[in-house]
A and B are shown apart, each in its own frame.
Chain A
Amino acid sequence: MRRYDVLKKIIPIIKNHFVVCNIGLPSQELHYLDDQPTNFYMLGTMGLASSIGLGLAIAQEQKIISIDGDGSVLTNFGTLPTIANNNADNFILLIIDNGSYGSTGDQPTYAGKKTSLSEVAKACGCENVVECSAEDTASVLEQAINSDKMTIIVSKCQSGNVKVPVIELDPVVIRHRFMAELVSRNSKNQS
């Protein structure tokens, strides 16, 4: 299974949750599969999906799922100790690890070689780290959501991309509709 297939399989699980999606093809594929106001697409800034997701999770109560890639986590390695030391049980980091920089032509990453991102996450102090196959990702993600524990999932899948259009939504529109939906859900929780 490639990342596109993993995303397709987890759509029913994530569609009612707030998602921060990694730059490039992951965001484009998610946008193509199931555009939602609850999706925050990163149009630039490689590496920060996990940091944005953690900031969101700390600031409010809704569950936040950051969909990241192995290349992006390698770019922002400092994020893992920050996540480990600032627990937010409404935060899930799903690293779709295809061992390659997918958006730039599938150049291999070190995560596809000797470096284990799940071991790195554990060494950084993350307590709930699950490495799983692409096929098991949907059920592992569902368990993580139900556990109400901050969880890092490393989903090992094949490299390769699907041809999808670029996102033409204005960044301010993406942000505005995401924030409006977040305010609406949080106010419903309080009423």
Chain B
Amino acid sequence: MSVSDTIVSDFVKNKVEFITTVPCKQLADVIDKIEKCAEIYHIPSNKEDEGMGLCAGAFMGGKRSAIIMQNTAIGVTINTLVTLTQFYRMPLPMLISYRGEVGEPVACQVEMAVHTKALLEQLKIPTYHFHRESDVKEFDGILKHTFMSKKPVAILTDASFWNGY
């Protein structure tokens, strides 16, 4: 089973029925599989803060939701994470491609990578870093933890985890 298959299967197992995505090359396969998954309503967003609004609505409407995005989005969404997701105590798994780590061909991505964990720490967002393919086995537990704690939770997935892109 590929890491993408495991991720989609864990989303379904944990009754995540509403997923919004903003694409990244590293995430192309998992986004494709979510689009094809009959149990999940896939709604692409134009910007990640918009996506977090959609997820907040779906959660209040009784559907577990999640967002898939790039780490550059942390810069875009700080206000939304703080004043919507955290302030109203809503769970939000954030599957994040961690661009700018070893193996990254685009120098500019490193500029945001160096701030990613510091920003998440500052926001007190529980953060997990998937580096090896085998780390994916923690995904199921992290989803359960997110819905139990009603917090936004970050799962950073780097190029080694995705085996390059």
A82 on the B face (CB < 8 A): yes
Contact A45 B50 (CB under 8 A): no
Find B53's partner among A52, A174, A178, A183 (CB 8 Å cutoff).
Answer: A52
Q: Which residues of A lie under 8 Å from residue B47 when comparing CB positions?
A: 76, 78
Main SS of the interface on chain A?
A: helix
Q: For the complex, give the distance between the alpha carbons of A178 and B45 in Å.
A: 25
Q: For the complex, give the distance between the alpha carbons of A52 and B57 in Å.
A: 4
Closest to A78 in B: B46
Given A55-B65, A58-B43, A60-B62: A82 and B50 interface contact (C-beta under 8 Å): yes
Distance (whole angstroms) from the CB of A66 to the closest CB of chain B: 9
- Interface set, chain A 41-60, CB cutoff 8 A to B: 42-45, 47-60
Q: Which residues of B lie under 8 Å from residue A171 when comparing CB positions?
A: 87-89
Given A45-B80, A51-B57, A52-B54: A175 and B62 interface contact (C-beta under 8 Å): no
User: Chain A, interface size: which category?
Assistant: 35 or more
Q: For the complex, give the distance between the alpha carbons of A52 and B52 in Å.
A: 8
B131 on the A face (CB < 8 A): no
Number of B interface residues in the complex (CB < 8 A): 32
Q: Which residues of A lie under 8 Å from residue B18 when comparing CB positions?
A: 55, 58-59
B60 on the A face (CB < 8 A): yes
Count, A-B residue pairs, CB within 8 A? 116
Closest to A53 in B: B57
A4 on the B face (CB < 8 A): no
Q: Which residues of A lie under 8 Å from residue B44 when comparing CB positions?
A: 82
- Interface set, chain B 64-101, CB cutoff 8 A to A: 65, 79-80, 82-84, 87-90
B55 on the A face (CB < 8 A): yes
Distance (whole angstroms) from the CB of B123 to the closest CB of chain A: 14
Contact B50 A55 (CB under 8 A): no
A86 on the B face (CB < 8 A): yes
A164 on the B face (CB < 8 A): no
Distance (whole angstroms) from the CB of B37 to the closest CB of chain A: 16
Q: Which residues of B lie under 8 Å from residue A25 when comparing CB positions?
A: none
B61 on the A face (CB < 8 A): yes
Q: For the complex, give the distance between the alpha carbons of A178 and B44 in Å.
A: 26
Q: For the complex, give the distance between the alpha carbons of A186 and B60 in Å.
A: 13
Distance (whole angstroms) from the CB of A59 to the closest CB of chain B: 3
When A and B form their complex, which 9 residue pairs have the shortest distance between CB atoms, in order from nearest? Answer: A55-B57, A59-B61, A44-B83, A51-B53, A78-B46, A48-B53, A56-B57, A55-B54, A52-B57
Other than the known A52-B56, A56-B61, what 14 A-B pairs have Cβ atoms closer than 8 Å?
A45-B84, A48-B53, A54-B57, A57-B61, A58-B63, A59-B58, A59-B61, A59-B63, A60-B63, A76-B49, A82-B44, A175-B88, A179-B60, A182-B60
12 A-B pairs in the complex with CB atoms less than 8 angstroms apart? A43-B83, A45-B80, A52-B60, A56-B61, A58-B43, A60-B62, A64-B57, A76-B49, A78-B45, A78-B50, A86-B43, A183-B62
